[in-house]
Amino acid sequence: MENIETEVHGDAKKSMRAVLTGMDTKPAMSLALMLESIGYEVFMLTDSAMKNYHKKGYTGGVEAALLKNMGYAVADIKPTESVEGDIFFDLKLKDLQSMLKIHPELNGALYVINGGWDDYEDYGNYFPTITNNFWIKNAFHVYSPMVGKPMKVKDKPGTEPPIDLLHNAYNWGFGTYLDDIIAKTGLRVFGSYGSPMGLIHNDDVEEYLHKTIAFVHIKSSDCPGWALWEAFATGTPVVVPSLFIKRMHFEDLYIDGETCVTWGDNLFEDILHEPGIFKEFIDREMPKAIEELTQKVEKLKDPEYNTKIGMGGHKKWKELTEWTEAKQQALKDYLNNYHAQV
C-alpha cells in the first residue's frame, strides 16, 4: 500500500481515494469519518456497480435498496461506479478475495462489523482490518465514532416497556427463547425479517429510546451493534448478556452496575470454552437467565438507579468513541506499516 501522506502540487493537496463496498449505513459513515480524517476521499459503490461486479463473480456488498427496506437512510457518501482507488474496503474475507480476482491490482482492506471469533479471528493476517471486534489479530481495534445528527440525551427516565432493535430476532442465539423473554419482561423487539413488533424507521429510533425504560439486547455478540450506540448516545440504560461482553472483549465499556446492567451472569461460562455445545447450555441455563433478566429490568423502574446506569453508560461510551488526534495517527500508522509488520 502507498504511504497515506498526501501528495503536494503547489498549494493543493491530492487526497488518497478509498472505495467502500455497499454496507450498513451508520457503520459505513463511521468508517468514512475515520478515513477522511487521515487524508482519504471516500466513495461507496452504487447498487448498479455492485450488480455489474456480481455478474463477474463478486460475492459481496449490501445494496442501498435493501437497507432502505430495513428502515435505514441512504449513507451520505459519494457514489462511484468503479473500485479504482488507493484502497478498497470490503466486509468479509471471501468477498474481498472475489473482488481481487476481478481486480488483482487493488489494495484490499477489511472493515469487520460482525461479532464472534470463529470466522474472523485471522482476518488481520491477510489484509489490513479495521474493526470493533477485539478478537481479530493484527487489526486496528476501535470503538467506532458516532456519526450523523447528534442524538439528544434524555432528561428523565423513560417509563414505557423495554425495547430491542434487532432484525430477524427469532434466528439469533437467544431467538428460541424470545417469546419467553417477551412474556416475562414485556420486551418489545422491533426490526425486519419477522421481528415481533415490526420495523421502525431509523429516524424514529431516538423517540422510542427516550420513552423506554431500557434497551435490552438479546444477542450474544455484536460489532459494535449500532442500536447499542444509539442507546448509549441518548442515555438510555443498556442491558446485555454477560456472555456478550465476554465474547466481544468489551469489558472497558460494559461495566455491570456502572455503565450497563448485565444478565445471565456466570451462567454461560462453558460456552466460551466449548462453542460447539452452545445449544445444550442455552437449554439448560436459559430459564434462570430469563428470571434474572426480569428482576434486573424491574429494578430499572427506580428513576434514580435508571438515571445512574443511563448516564454512566453515556459518559463512558462518549469517552471511548471520541475520534481523537491520537487515534487518527494510530490508524494512519497502522495502514502505512501493516505490510511491513504482518
Q: How is the chain split into domains, by residue range?
A: 7-142+323-341, 163-320
Least confident range of 79-88, 91-100, 121-130, 171-180: 171-180
Check whether 283 has a pLDDT greater than 80. Answer: no
What is the model's pLDDT at position 68? 77
Rg (CA), the chain: 21
CB 217: neighbour CB atoms within 10 A?
24
The amino acid at 224: P
What pLDDT is attached to residue 5? 43
Mind listing the pLDDT tens digit for each residue in 91-141?
Answer: 999 999 999 999 999 999 999 998 877 778 999 999 999 999 998 999 999
- Asked if the model's pLDDT at residue 267 lies above 70, the reply is no
Q: Are 42 and 7 in contact (CB under 8 A)?
A: no
Reduced to 3 states (helix: H, G, I; strand: E, B; else coil), residue 216 is: strand
Residue 174: count of CB within 10 angstroms of its CB: 22
Output the pLDDT for position 303.
98
**DSSP characters over 251-310:** TTT--BTTTBEEESTTT-HHHHH-GGGHHHHHHHHHHHHHHHHHHHHHHTTSHHHHHHHH
- Which of 202-216, 254-268, 271-285: highest mean pLDDT? 202-216
Architecture of domain 163-320: 3-Layer(aba) Sandwich (3.40)
Closest C-alpha among 144, 140, 50 to residue 90: 50
Q: What is the pLDDT of residue 2?
A: 47
CB 53 within 8 Å of CB 61: yes
d(CA 90, CA 189): 29
Q: The pTM is what?
A: 0.91
pLDDT band per the 50, 70, 90 thresholds, residue 221: confident
Please give the CATH topology (third level) of the domain spanning 7-142+323-341: Rossmann fold (3.40.50)
Asked if the model's pLDDT at residue 13 lies above 60, the reply is no
131: which 3 cell numbers?
A: 474493526
Q: How many Å separate Cα 274 from the centre of its chain?
A: 25
Give the model's pLDDT for residue 12. 40
DSSP-derived 3-state class of residue 226: helix
Which residue is it, cell 489479530?
137
**pLDDT exceeds 60 at position 194:** yes
The DSSP symbol for 212 reads B
Question: What stretch of H or E contains 41?
Answer: strand 40-45
Secondary structure of residue 141 in the 3-state scheme: strand
Helices (H) and strands (E) in the chain, counts: 12, 14
Q: Which residues contact 309 (CB under 8 A, 6 or more apart)?
A: 237, 238, 257, 258, 259, 260, 261, 300
Residue with the bigger pLDDT between 307 and 274: it is 307
Check if 7-142+323-341 and 163-320 are the same fold. Answer: yes
